[in-house]
């Protein structure tokens, strides 16, 4: 763990919102688990008493909102807002992580990292600066007992991180950055010489070299800055010095992939789209659609 991440974790652990969650995670019963790598990341627990089952469920409920998943932990099914295996299964045919050093930037609760264990990488490191998602990761990892490293750091910290990776995933982060080219430069700085980067980001249709800049919100999300055409995304990658831009897939977001469940607090996709025209967001912009790409140095 980097010194900066250690300090961030220590200070986050003291925050009013997070402190009770850390205490709950620290008090979870010690139970061994077997992992099954299905679309639902499954931990089979042995000998869970009704009292322990209730402690585990209360902790998981306190950790809402669960954006990424799903997870099955013993009898408990965490039906996350996103069916994250859809994204994972789009990317899966395009990578081979065996013996690779792998980073997931913006890893959320680590769902993809947990799934990637099956690929037998040399090392798995997740980066995400949001304390709640770190807590969710620790909740799952309390039972899974993996060697995945979770850094409470952002993409902007990669240049100083000091370690490079063979494969980097940066999924659903680029549109949150007000400086997407700077973000791509940070990602490049953390790649080994023959490394590869997997990205997904919102795109708009068209062949022009342009990007949509939402006025305030996009799909009710306040921190969406640039939504490029695929050509513009390629131009950004070219400018940073990435080669071999490969478009893997373009996929609109549907309610199969993102929907309201009891495991999130607040709204989901059905509230973000124009109720009379689902091809538009509630603000009148083109509805969410993602491009999945692979680039290398």
Ligand X SMILES: C[S@@+](CC[C@H](N)C(=O)[O-])C[C@H]1O[C@@H](n2cnc3c(N)ncnc32)[C@H](O)[C@@H]1O
Residues in touch with ligand X (CB under 6 A): 68, 84, 87, 105-106, 108, 127-130, 133, 154-156, 171-173, 176
In this complex, which beta carbon is closest to ligand X, that of residue 34 or of residue 267?
267
Q: For the chain, report the end-to-end CA distance as a whole number of angstroms.
A: 27
In this complex, which beta carbon is closest to ligand X, that of residue 129 or of residue 286?
129
Compute the least distance from the CB of residue 114 to ligand X, in Å: 13
Compute the least distance from the CB of residue 276 to ligand X, in Å: 26
> Alpha-carbon distance 288 to 273, whole Å?
9
By beta-carbon distance, which residue lies closest to ligand X? 154
In this complex, which beta carbon is closest to ligand X, that of residue 155 or of residue 190?
155
Question: ∠ at Cα 235 (230, 240), nearest 5°?
Answer: 130
Strands 149-151 vs 123-127: parallel, antiparallel or unpaired:
parallel
Compute the least distance from the CB of residue 121 to ligand X, in Å: 17
Compute the least distance from the CB of residue 50 to ligand X, in Å: 33
Cis ω for the linkage preceding 65 (within 30 of 0) = yes
In this complex, which beta carbon is closest to ligand X, that of residue 129 or of residue 206?
129
Compute the least distance from the CB of residue 72 to ligand X, in Å: 19
Tokens of 257: 């992939």
Residue pointed to by tokens 């959320």: 108
In this complex, which beta carbon is closest to ligand X, that of residue 104 or of residue 166?
104
CA distances from 203 to 17, 175, 181, 242, 253 (A): 35, 9, 15, 19, 11
């Amino acid at each position: 763990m980097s010194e900066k991440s250690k300090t961030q974790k220590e200070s986050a652990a003291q925050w009013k919102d997070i402190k009770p969650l850390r205490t709950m995670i620290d008090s979870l019963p010690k139970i061994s688990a077997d992992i099954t790598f299905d679309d639902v990341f499954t931990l089979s627990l042995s000998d869970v008493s009704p009292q322990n089952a209730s402690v585990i469920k209360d902790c998981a409920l306190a950790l809402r909102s669960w954006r990424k998943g799903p997870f099955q932990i013993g009898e408990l099914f965490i039906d996350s807002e996103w069916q994250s295996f859809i994204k994972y299964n789009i990317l899966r045919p395009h990578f081979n992580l065996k013996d690779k050093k792998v980073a997931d930037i913006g890893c959320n609760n680590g769902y993809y990292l947990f799934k990637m264990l099956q690929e037998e990488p040399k090392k798995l490191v997740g980066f995400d600066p949001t304390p709640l998602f770190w807590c969710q990761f620790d909740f799952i990892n309390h039972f899974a007992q993996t060697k995945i490293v979770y850094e409470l750091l952002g993409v902007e910290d990669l240049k100083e991180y000091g370690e490079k990776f063979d494969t980097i995933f940066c999924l659903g982060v680029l549109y949150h950055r007000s400086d997407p080219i700077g973000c791509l430069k940070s990602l490049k700085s953390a790649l080994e010489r023959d490394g590869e980067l997997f990205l997904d980001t919102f795109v708009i249709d068209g062949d022009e070299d342009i990007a949509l800049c939402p006025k305030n919100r996009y799909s009710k999300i306040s921190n969406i800055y640039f939504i490029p055409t695929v050509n513009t995304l390629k131009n950004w990658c070219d400018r940073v010095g990435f080669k071999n831009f490969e478009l893997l897939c373009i996929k609109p977001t549907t309610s199969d992939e993102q929907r309201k469940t009891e495991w999130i607090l607040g709204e989901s996709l059905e509230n973000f789209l124009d109720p009379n025209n689902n091809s538009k967001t509630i603000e009148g912009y083109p509805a969410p659609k993602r491009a999945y790409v692979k680039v290398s140095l």
